Chains A and B, each alone.
Chain A
Amino acid sequence: MSATAAHTINVTINGRRTELRVSPNLSLLELLRTEAGGPEVKLGCGEGVCGTCTVLLDGEPVNSCLMFAVQADGCGITTVRGLAADGELHDLQQAFLDHAGSQCGFCTPGMLLTAKWYLDRHPDADREELRRAIAGNLCRCTGYTKILDSIEAYRDLPQDADGD
């Protein structure tokens, strides 16, 4: 903790309301990885370029490495662990398993959140739109082909009564 005054913030992380005391210079990424128990959010570059720190802030993807936790006061945060429900993998996660969209897995949490966010808004996006949608999430292992295969497979799942 630094010498400057700590702030109390209220955030909702994957649906769970939490009150935390934070130093202003604590990044949202660091907060999620340490006190808020979310090591699934990664540090890859610290420049906002790689996408491994992606979280959804009030539903929109942001660089958690480029935000301070205090800026997120009052917000809802979704990490990849917010996708699964009742211990069951989300269909998108299952699609990544079925189509080998993950190799080392480091880009996967950010990639999943970005894909889910985009498809929720553009459920009929074609492959080239999806390619553009993930352009800000770097992957060094897959060459993106199987990532797009996975996302398309998820997009093409028949909609059931429960939605996703």
Chain B
Amino acid sequence: MATDTGRTKAREAPVDEAPVQAPPPARLPTGRTSPVPHRDFVEKVAGTLPYADDWGFPGMLHGVVVRARVPCALIASIDTSAAQEVPGVRAVLTAADIPHNAISEEASGLGIDQIVQPVLADERIRYDGEPVVAIAAETPGAALEAAGLVEVEYEDAEGAFTIDAALADGAPAVHPGGNRYITWRSAIGDVEEAMGRADHIIEETYQTPRVDHAYLEPESGVGWVDSDGVVTLRVSTQVIEHARQLADILQLPHSRVRVIAAYMGGGFGGKEDMTVEPYLAALVWKTRRPVRMVWERQDSLLARQKRHPFRMHYRTGVHNDGTIVAQDIKILGDAGAYPLLSSRVLFAGAVNSTGPYRCLNARVESTAVFTNTVPTSAFRGFGAMQVVFGYESQMDLIAQRLGLTPVQVRERNFVDRGDIRVTGEPIDTEPGTRECMHRALEELGEMSAPTNGGRVGRGFACSMQPYGRSMFFADRASCWIGLEQDGTMVIRAGVTDLGAGQAASLANIAGEILGVTVDRTSVHIGDSALTPLTGGTFATRQLYMSGNAAVKVAQLLRDKLTPVVCDLLGCEESELEWANNLVSVVGDRAHSVTMAELSRTAEARDIMPYVHDTFHAETGDFDPATGRGRTYPDYTHGCHAVDAEVDERTGEVRILKYVAVHDVGRAIDMQRVVGQIQGAVAQGIGYAMSEEMEIDEGVMSSTLFANYLIPTSLDLPDINAIGLELYLGKGPFGARGIGEPPIGPCAPALARAVQDAIGIRMCRLPMTPERVLAAIRNGRDDSVPGAGKDGA
């Protein structure tokens, strides 16, 4: 594949009125990795880290959730009498036993009405696996025995199990308001006029799958009522702020429910909505006993929320030279039976659907559709990753139609700082997409040779994915940092840690500013009663939000203590260096004060050596009626490149070489950045090649872990992940979020490689051997359901 060397001159960007909101100035990180690993990683390799299920109390009960195994029905009756008679059973709860049987959260952030999801189903079942009864018993055996004795009588009800069925005339309504839950619309310029001027219009429909997070740690936790009567849950969760919802469910004051987040064995968005929490809280509250609940993997696969399948219809108008003149995009996302975070996922899909490409005439419509299937919600990438498959596939089809290279067509269209997006907002940091693309292709090097008699193809894909929550959420994160009398540092922040070093990064950041080393720092996280709230770990926001909070608070503490130091050392602020647990005069380390001395002296002078404050993200307004306003605070740009070999007799694809390059602004810990990229790529490859939940007429059949095909070590090559530090972002020290962005480009990069190998573009994921072989057979990919229906 020819690599373009020229760079199309970017259009003059409008001059900024005001500079980018930079994070508070601070010393840039010096070392790449803290020499002493954070405590949680040491405990992980030692096997001593207590996860949510590694916890117990004397007299602890075991809780289970009993689930409906029909996809759509009316509940005629529920008989729990036999279940209650099982020796050792202490509680059998139905909907009537839940004080406020509603999980509701105004997810859109814009006051759009929410549909209530019951904790336990009352009148009807809307999806296969919906919870009906919760049981607590003295032993797991008794709980399971009782679960088997619950009798539910159902009456048939018609269900709509696919988007097409749900949108058809006279379709059964999943909820009273109809099956179109929410539609976001955004437009800029004049699409029809621009399409009229286009030399070519490339039109295609793409379909992405319903996939499971498949974290290795099941949904789990322990709950109890503490000595003050506070309902306390210690659970594997990404969001401790759910404590308020739990209080509402139990009709308790918010201050009487406490959620503690254990370190998670993976989250990826699957623990962003509540999982065990409401059932655990209800059983604890009913029995006043400690209760443990761990979901069986098979139940998790059956009924815990998945990623939204997207059907994306793209119409792109281009000139002969490859420049895009118009984009007309329609997205349909399958929300399943309840909304959860669907409004935000489809929003993210909508506003990111044009990708890192300039387009002044664009229109996007993005709709969440209810079906009687497992609810879909947050999953790494959150709508913004599904559309990468759409816009990158379009770029490759455009290249093919126009006889340009995939590099050329992208070069002609890459956004620059200042370019306006479909929502009317400008991109206000520098995009490094171009540099990432060139670096990725350079790293891939010579074309790989076949290993198994197949045809080798090469592909790449670029992406621009947001980090941080939509700005109309007025996001904020608080943090407390203080020095103990012995000079050790304590950080309290309500972050939840899902294994990407969320807690460790706070220690690193505060340590950079205050000079306290990681081994003399304790980070207390994830306790809604005891740690300042930081918002949940999702949306690649945690580093941006709590990291910036840590920067702000550490700097405030440093500012607060500086006069004391200056007084003790008899010097000016500008002469100070905070490092290695000392504050010393630059160039004269002997002339120093220890953190212990500083802490005690300050306290003696009534200058308390701690600060609690809040970082407020940039806010902005968005008008859903016009689709105009501010959305995400910033984006992370990247490019992945891959060589893959296709066995033309079987359709199997083997990935030979993989490079992933992202501009991360500034890396707090480059080793962890690389690890995040590699992990996201592994999930992206699974999504592209093998993962899919199989549902037939609403009945879920992918309920064995053995049958849910996440990649093993043999399914992946080494992932060459590179974090470039090109252009500052808005995170601490100029970092850009990296948790989610690397999951998007994998599928289109692989689709391009397959296209390069067999000459056919796959428009549906996953690209299973059977689908690839059928495409080879037919000369095209016919596997997208509903393709060709305008707008559907």
- Taking Cβ atoms with an 8 Å cutoff, the residues of A that contact B are 1-2, 25, 33, 39-40, 42-47, 49-50, 52, 79-81, 84, 89, 93-94, 96-97, 99-109, 112, 131-132, 134-148
Contacts and interface: CB of A to CB of B under 8 A. Distances in A.
Contact of B218 (A1, A40, A43, A135): A43
Contact of B45 (A2, A105, A143): A105
Given A105-B49, A109-B47, A146 B675 contact: yes
Given A42-B216, A45-B705, A142-B679, A104 B48 contact: no
Nearest to A96: B45
Interface string B578-598: 000000000000000000000
Contacts of B18: none
B718 A2 contact: no
Contact of B714 (A44, A45, A102, A135): A135
A45 B297 contact: yes
A142 B675 contact: yes
B778 interface: no
Contacts of B264: 104
Given A93-B46, A97-B42, A145-B678, A105 B704 contact: no
Contacts, number: 160
A104 B50 CA distance: 12
29 contacts: A1-B139, A39-B50, A40-B47, A50-B705, A80-B45, A81-B48, A97-B42, A97-B45, A99-B671, A100-B671, A100-B674, A102-B41, A103-B679, A104-B265, A104-B498, A105-B44, A106-B265, A108-B47, A131-B714, A136-B712, A139-B216, A140-B213, A140-B216, A140-B683, A143-B679, A143-B681, A143-B711, A144-B713, A145-B718
Interface in B215-237: 215-218
Interface of B: 37, 40-51, 53-54, 139, 141, 213-218, 263-266, 268, 294, 296-298, 498-501, 671-672, 674-675, 678-679, 681-683, 704-706, 710-714, 716, 718-719, 721
Nearest to A127: B718
A131 B718 CA distance: 10
Name the residue among A42, A45, A93 with the largest chain B CB count within 10 angstroms.
A45
A84 B44 contact: no
A140 B710 contact: yes
Contacts of B53: 39, 43
B616 to A, nearest CB: 30
Nearest to A103: B499
Nearest to B37: A97
A26 to B, nearest CB: 10
Contacts of B675: 100, 103, 141-142, 146
B215 A140 contact: yes
B265 A102 contact: no
Nearest to B36: A97
B706 A49 contact: yes
A67 to B, nearest CB: 17
Contacts of B711: 143
Contacts of B47: 40, 79-81, 108-109
B678 A40 contact: no
Given A42-B265, A46-B296, A47-B706, A144 B716 contact: yes
In the A-B complex, the 3 residue pairs with the closest CB atoms: A104-B499, A105-B44, A106-B265
Nearest to A34: B56
B716 A135 contact: no
B704 A142 contact: no
Given A106-B499, A143-B716, 17 more contacts: A40-B48, A42-B216, A42-B265, A45-B297, A45-B706, A46-B298, A50-B705, A80-B45, A89-B42, A100-B672, A100-B674, A104-B216, A104-B263, A108-B44, A134-B713, A141-B266, A145-B718
Contacts of A40: 47-48
A105 B47 CA distance: 8
Given A100-B675, A131-B714, A140 B214 contact: yes
A47 B298 CA distance: 10
Contacts of A142: 675, 678-679, 682
A89 B45 contact: yes
Nearest to A109: B47
A105 B262 CA distance: 13
A44 B500 CA distance: 19
B716 A105 contact: no
Contact of B266 (A99, A104, A109, A137): A104
Contacts of B674: 100, 146
A1 B54 CA distance: 20
B54 A39 contact: yes
A103 B678 CA distance: 11
B205 to A, nearest CB: 30
A2 B40 CA distance: 37
